[in-house]
Amino acid sequence: MWCDNCLLIFPLRAGTMALATEIAAYSIAGGIVLFLYGQYLYPSADLEVPVYGGVSMGIGACSVLLLLAFANRSRLWTSALCFILPFVLVLSIVRAGIMTFRLDYYQERIIWSCNHGGQLYNATLAADSTYSAGNSSGDTIPTGFCSAGFHSLYLAFAFALALDCVLQAYQLFLVWRFRAFLRNYSSLKDSRVNGYYYS
C-alpha cells in the first residue's frame, strides 16, 4: 500500500498549488521572453521560436488549470490532468533537448550579434568582412545575453530547462497522489451509513 505522505516536501494540496503557481509564473514569463527575444537566440528560424514559446504558454496554462482543479477539489479535472500532464511532460523533455541542441547550433550567429552591437544576425552582412555595426539601427539583443558570454548563457539555459522538466515530473506525481486521495476520500464517504463505516 502506498504511503500517502511519502516523497511529499509540503502538504499535498497546498504544496502542489504552490508548485503549480511557480511553474505557471516562470513558464508564462519564459514564453513571453521567447516571443520577444527568441529571434536573437534562434536567428533565421522562423517557426522554432513560436513553437517553443507556445509550449511554454501551454505548460503555464496546464498549471493554472491545476490550480483551479485543486482549489475546488475537483475529481474530474484532477483525473483529466493525470491524463494530460504525462503528454505535456514528454513534450517538454523533447522541447528541452531540441532547444539546447539548437542553441549550440546557433552559437556562431549569437556571438556575431553580440560582436556587432546586438543586432539581429544577417547572413549577408555576416559574409561581408568589412561590415561595421556603427550605422545599425533597430531592436537589439538584451545586453545580459552578451555580457555573460555564450558558454555561461548555454549552461544556464540547459540547467533551467532540465530543472523545469524535473519540477513538472514532480508536479505530475503530486497530481497523481491527489487523485488517489480524492478517490479514497470518496470511497470512505460512500461506505459511511448513519455514522458507521462498512467494508
Q: Using 50, 70 and 90 to split pLDDT, how confident is the model at 3?
A: low
How much is the mean pLDDT over the chain? 83
Domain layout of the chain by residue ranges: 12-121+139-197
Indicate the length of the chain as a whole number.
Answer: 199
Alpha carbon separation from 102 to 17, 52, 95, 143, 192 (Å, rounded): 33, 12, 10, 21, 58
Q: How far apart are the first and last CA of the chain?
A: 17
Cell numbers for 68, please give them.
483551479
The DSSP symbol for 46 reads T
Cβ atoms of 81 and 65 closer than 8 Å:
yes
Give the C-alpha distances (Å, rounded to integers) separating 162 from 57, 72, 171. 17, 31, 14
- For residues 119 and 138, the answer to whether their CB atoms sit within 8 Å is yes
Number of C-beta neighbours around residue 123 at 10 A = 10
pLDDT in tens, 101-154: 999 998 888 888 888 777 888 776 767 666 666 555 566 777 777 887 888 889
